[in-house]
C-alpha cells in the first residue's frame, strides 16, 4: 500500500509504483477482495441478503451506474452511503486542484498547468474516501449551475481573465465529484431540463457550460434513488436518462417480523439512561413490527406512498419514552413496557402514514388506534388459543372464567400512568387471567407473565369477547354487551370529539 505520509510529490508517487485506476475499477477490485474474504460489504442492511445486495454487487462488478427504486424508508440512501466502504482509504490528487485531479491524469486546466509547470515536483495531497462522497437531494430549485457549473464573473474579474478563458468557470457538484460517488436522491423530482443535462455526463463525459464545450473525462460512480410514486404524482425520470442508467435495482420492505425487529433495534436511538430503566419483551417488539405490516395492507392507508421503516423506529422510541415517563411520575427505578404504553405510538403512526379518502374520513387518530388493535389481534393467536374456535363451544373456552367475570358486571380501568403495584393488583383481580397465562406461558418470568395477562385482555377485546373503551387517562375493559349499550361518559365523549383517542370499541 502506498505510504501517503511519505509521498508529497508526483515524482515520489511514480517511484512508489502508483498506477491510476478509475473509480469503477476501484469499487470492483475492492468488492472482489471483500467477497473472497467472505466479508459483509453492506454492514447493517437487513433483509436484502438474497435480493437487493446481490443485484447491487452484480451492478458494481459490471461497472454500472445505479438507480435504487423503492418506496420510502427502504434504506436506499443508506446503501449508497455504505458504498464508500468499497473505495480505497486514500487516493492521491494534485494539491489545490478543485476536481480531484489524478496527478498522472489531470483533467482540469489548473491540474494540467501545474503538471506542465512543475513536472515531478507537482505537490500531491491525499483525499480520504469519506470526502469522495457527494449527495444531492433533487428539489425543483436545483439548477444547472448547482450540478454542472457556471461562469463566475467574480473569478474573471479577480484573475483579470476574459470570459472566453475556461478558468473563469466555477464547477458544480458533479465535476467536483470526479473520482468519487455522486448520489441524487429522489431523481424524478429533478426538473426534466436538468435531467437532460446529465445525458452526456453519463454517456460521453462531456459538459457544456455557457458556451464552453469541455472534454472532461469524469470518473464518477452515479447512484440515483427514486420512489415509484414519483413517476405519477410529482414527476418522472425522462426516458433517455433512464436508458443511460445501467442497472435499476428494486428495493422492498422487510419480509418478516424478525428482520423488521433487527432494523428497528439497530436504528432506534435509545439513550443509555432509558435502557437502565425500561425493559421491552419480545411481544412488544413484535407488536411494533406488526403495526407496520397492518398499515401496509390497510384499506385506509395509501399503499403507493408506502409505510416507512421509520414508523417502527419512531414507534419503539416513543414506547420506551412512554414507559420512562410513567416510571419517573411514579418514582420507580425500573419498569417494563405495557400494552397501555402503546398510546405513545399513535403520534408515530399519524405522522408516518398517508391516508386515502376513507382514512381521512375516519380520522388519523382512529386509524392509528385501529392499526394497533389489528396488530394485537394478529399477534394474539401466536401466544394464546384462537377465541374464534370456541364461539360455538363456549363451555370449553379457556377464556370462559374471564368473560363470565366481566359478564357479571365487573370492569377494570388500566390507566396509562398507573404505578406497578396497582397495575399488578388490578390484573390479579380478574379471575382466570393468571391461570390462563400460567397454563400457556408458565415458564416465563413474573414481569413477562404480567404483560401476558394484560395482553390477554387486549386480545379478547380485539376478538369481541369483552369490550375495550378509551378513557382520557387510559382504557376500560368490561362486558361486551354492556360496552355496546352503555351511555358514553363525559370523558369518553371528550375523547371522541378530540379524534385522537376515542372511537375504538369492541
* Contact present, 450 and 420 (Cβ < 8 Å): no
**Strand intervals (E) in 329-434:** 335-336, 412-415
68 and 138 share one domain: yes
What percent of the chain is predicted at pLDDT more than 90? 68
245 and 386 share one domain: no
**Considering only CA atoms, which of 337, 462, 467 is closest in space to residue 413?**
467
Distance CA 487, CA 40 (A): 60
In a 3-state reduction of DSSP, which class is residue 434?
A: helix
Cell digits for 176?
467536483
Could you report the per-residue pLDDT of 328-354, keeping only the tens digit for each?
Answer: 999 999 999 999 999 999 999 998 899
- pLDDT confidence of residue 154: 73
Would the pLDDT of 195 be above 70?
yes
Which residues, at least 6 apart from 349, have a Cβ–Cβ distance to it below 8 Å? Answer: 291, 295, 311, 315, 364, 367, 368, 371, 372
Domain finish residue from 206, 229, 250:
250
180 and 298 share one domain: no
306 and 347 share one domain: yes
Domain finish residue from 250, 274, 292:
250
Cα–Cα distances in angstroms (integers) from residue 464 to residues 155, 280, 472, in the given order? 75, 27, 22
414 and 279 share one domain: yes
Span 200-227, mean pLDDT? Answer: 78
Lowest-pLDDT range of 7-11, 155-159, 177-181:
155-159
Lowest-pLDDT range of 73-77, 84-88, 334-338, 353-357:
353-357
Span 387-416, mean pLDDT? Answer: 91
* Contact present, 312 and 260 (Cβ < 8 Å): yes
Mean pLDDT for the chain? 88
The span from the first CA to the last CA of the chain, in angstroms, equals 68
Cα–Cα distances in angstroms (integers) from residue 390 to residues 31, 142, 395, 396, 408, in the given order? 57, 62, 8, 7, 20
Residues across the chain: 506
List beta partners, residue 470: 475
Instruction: Please report which residue ranges of 394-475 form alpha helices under DSSP H.
Output: 400-407, 420-428, 433-441, 446-462
Would the pLDDT of 232 be above 50?
no
Cα–Cα distances in angstroms (integers) from residue 50 to residues 178, 252, 260, 489, in the given order? 32, 12, 16, 54
Domain finish residue from 210, 227, 250:
250
**Considering only CA atoms, which of 138, 140, 141 is closest in space to residue 174?**
138
Span 186-210, mean pLDDT? Answer: 79
231 and 286 share one domain: no
217 and 333 share one domain: no
Span 489-497, mean pLDDT? Answer: 46
246 and 261 share one domain: no
In a 3-state reduction of DSSP, which class is residue 9?
A: strand
**Considering only CA atoms, which of 446, 404, 438 is closest in space to residue 421?**
446
Q: Is 37 a member of any domain? A: yes
Lowest-pLDDT range of 81-90, 121-130, 354-363:
354-363
Pairing of strands 180-185, 133-137: parallel
Q: Is 506 a member of any domain? A: no
311 and 448 share one domain: yes
Report CA 473 to chain centroid distance, whole Å: 32
Q: Is 3 a member of any domain? A: no
For 276, counting Cβ atoms within 10 Å of its Cβ (0-12 exposed, 13-18 middle, 19+ buried), the class is: exposed
DSSP string, 181-243: EEEEESGGGS-HHHHHTTHHHHHT-EEEETTEEEE----EEEEEEE-TTHHHHT----HHHHH
Q: Is the four-CA dihedral 228, 232, 233, 236 of positive or negative sign?
A: positive
DSSP string, 142-164: --HHHHTEEE-HHHHHHHT--TT
Calculate ∠ Cα 153-154-160, nearest 5°: 85
Q: Is 67 a member of any domain? A: yes
384 and 282 share one domain: yes
Cα–Cα distances in angstroms (integers) from residue 23 to residues 3, 77, 451, 492, in the given order? 20, 19, 54, 64
Q: Is 392 a member of any domain? A: yes
What percent of the chain is predicted at pLDDT more than 70? 90
- Could you list the residue range(s) of the whole structural domain that residue 39 is in? 10-250
Residue with cell 431540463: 193
- 417-423 long-range CB contacts below 8 Å, 24 or more apart? 417/325, 417/326, 417/329, 417/330, 417/473, 418/326, 418/340, 418/474, 419/330, 419/332, 420/330, 420/332, 420/335, 423/338, 423/450
Q: Mutual orientation of helices 433-441 and 420-428 as an angle, nearest 10°?
A: 90
322 and 414 share one domain: yes
Backbone angles phi, psi at 460, to 5 degrees: -65, -35
Q: What is the CATH number of the domain that holds 137?
A: 3.40.50.300
Radius of gyration of the chain (CA): 30
As for how many domains the chain has, the answer is: 2
299 and 246 share one domain: no
Q: Is 505 a member of any domain? A: no
Span 278-286, mean pLDDT? Answer: 95
In a 3-state reduction of DSSP, which class is residue 72?
A: coil
Backbone angles phi, psi at 105, to 5 degrees: -140, 70
Distance CA 183, CA 138 (A): 10
Could you report the per-residue pLDDT of 112-158, keeping only the tens digit for each?
Answer: 999 999 999 999 999 999 999 999 999 888 988 888 887 777 776 77
Could you report the per-residue pLDDT of 424-435, keeping only the tens digit for each?
Answer: 999 999 999 999
Q: Is 2 a member of any domain? A: no
**Considering only CA atoms, which of 483, 332, 326, 456 is closest in space to residue 385?**
456
What is this structure's pTM? Answer: 0.84
Q: Is 4 a member of any domain? A: no
Cell digits for 390?
370456541
3-state helix, strand, coil in the chain (%, to 5): 50, 15, 35
More confident residue, 131 or 159: 131
Amino acid at each position: 500500500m502506498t505510504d501517503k505520509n511519505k509521498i508529497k510529490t508526483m515524482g515520489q508517487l511514480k517511484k512508489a509504483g502508483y498506477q491510476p485506476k478509475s473509480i469503477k475499477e476501484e469499487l470492483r477490485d475492492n468488492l472482489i477482495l471483500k467477497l473472497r474474504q467472505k466479508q459483509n460489504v453492506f454492514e447493517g442492511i437487513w433483509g436484502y441478503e438474497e435480493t437487493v445486495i446481490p443485484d447491487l454487487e452484480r451492478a458494481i462488478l459490471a461497472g454500472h451506474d445505479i438507480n435504487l427504486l423503492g418506496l420510502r424508508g427502504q434504506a436506499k440512501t443508506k446503501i449508497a452511503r455504505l458504498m464508500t466502504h468499497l473505495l480505497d482509504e486514500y487516493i492521491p490528487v494534485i494539491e489545490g486542484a478543485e476536481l480531484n485531479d489524478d496527478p498522472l491524469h489531470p483533467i482540469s486546466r489548473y491540474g494540467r498547468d501545474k503538471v506542465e509547470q512543475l513536472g515531478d515536483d507537482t505537490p500531491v495531497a491525499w483525499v480520504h474516501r469519506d470526502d469522495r462522497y457527494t449527495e444531492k437531494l433533487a428539489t425543483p430549485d436545483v439548477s444547472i449551475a448547482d450540478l454542472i457549473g457556471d461562469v463566475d464573473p467574480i473569478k474573471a474579474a479577480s484573475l483579470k481573465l476574459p470570459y472566453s478563458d475556461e478558468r473563469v468557470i466555477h464547477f458544480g457538484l458533479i465535476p467536483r465529484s470526479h473520482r468519487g460517488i455522486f448520489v441524487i436522491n429522489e431523481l424524478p423530482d429533478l426538473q426534466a431540463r436538468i435531467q437532460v443535462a446529465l445525458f452526456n455526463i453519463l454517456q460521453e463525459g462531456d459538459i457544456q457550460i455557457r458556451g464552453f464545450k469541455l472534454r472532461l473525462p469524469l470518473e464518477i460512480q452515479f447512484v440515483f434513488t427514486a420512489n415509484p410514486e414519483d413517476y405519477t404524482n410529482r414527476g418522472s425520470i425522462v426516458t433517455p436518462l433512464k436508458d443511460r442508467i445501467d442497472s435499476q435495482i428494486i428495493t422492498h420492505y422487510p419480509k418478516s417480523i424478525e428482520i423488521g425487529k433487527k432494523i428497528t433495534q439497530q436504528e432506534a436511538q435509545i439513550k443509555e439512561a432509558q435502557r437502565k430503566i425500561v425493559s421491552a419483551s419480545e411481544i412488544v417488539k413484535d407488536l411494533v413490527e406488526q403495526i407496520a405490516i397492518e398499515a401496509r395492507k390497510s384499506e385506509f392507508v395509501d399503499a403507493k406512498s408506502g409505510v416507512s421503516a421509520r414508523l417502527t423506529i419512531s414507534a419503539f422510541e416513543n414506547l420506551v419514552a412512554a414507559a420512562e415517563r410513567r416510571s419517573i411520575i411514579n418514582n420507580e427505578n425500573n419498569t417494563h413496557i405495557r400494552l397501555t404504553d402503546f398510546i405513545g405510538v399513535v403520534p408515530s403512526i399519524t405522522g408516518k402514514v398517508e391516508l386515502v379518502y376513507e382514512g381521512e374520513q375516519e380520522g388519523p387518530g382512529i386509524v392509528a388506534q385501529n392499526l394497533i388493535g389489528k396488530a394485537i389481534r394478529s399477534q394474539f393467536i401466536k401466544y394464546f388459543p384462537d377465541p374464534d374456535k370456541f364461539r360455538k363451544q363456549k363451555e370449553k373456552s379457556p377464556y370462559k372464567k374471564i368473560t363470565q367475570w366481566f359478564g357479571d358486571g365487573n370492569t377494570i380501568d388500566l390507566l396509562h400512568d398507573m404505578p406497578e403495584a396497582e397495575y399488578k393488583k388490578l390484573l390479579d383481580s380478574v379471575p382466570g387471567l393468571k391461570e390462563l397465562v400460567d397454563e400457556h406461558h408458565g415458564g416465563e418470568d413474573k414481569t413477562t407473565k404480567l404483560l401476558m395477562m394484560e395482553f390477554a385482555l387486549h386480545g379478547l377485546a380485539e376478538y369481541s369477547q369483552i369490550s375495550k373503551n378509551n378513557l382520557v387517562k387510559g382504557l376500560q375493559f368490561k362486558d361486551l354487551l354492556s360496552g355496546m349499550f352503555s351511555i358514553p361518559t363525559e370523558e369518553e365523549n371528550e375523547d371522541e370529539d378530540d379524534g385522537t383517542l376515542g372511537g375504538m370499541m369492541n
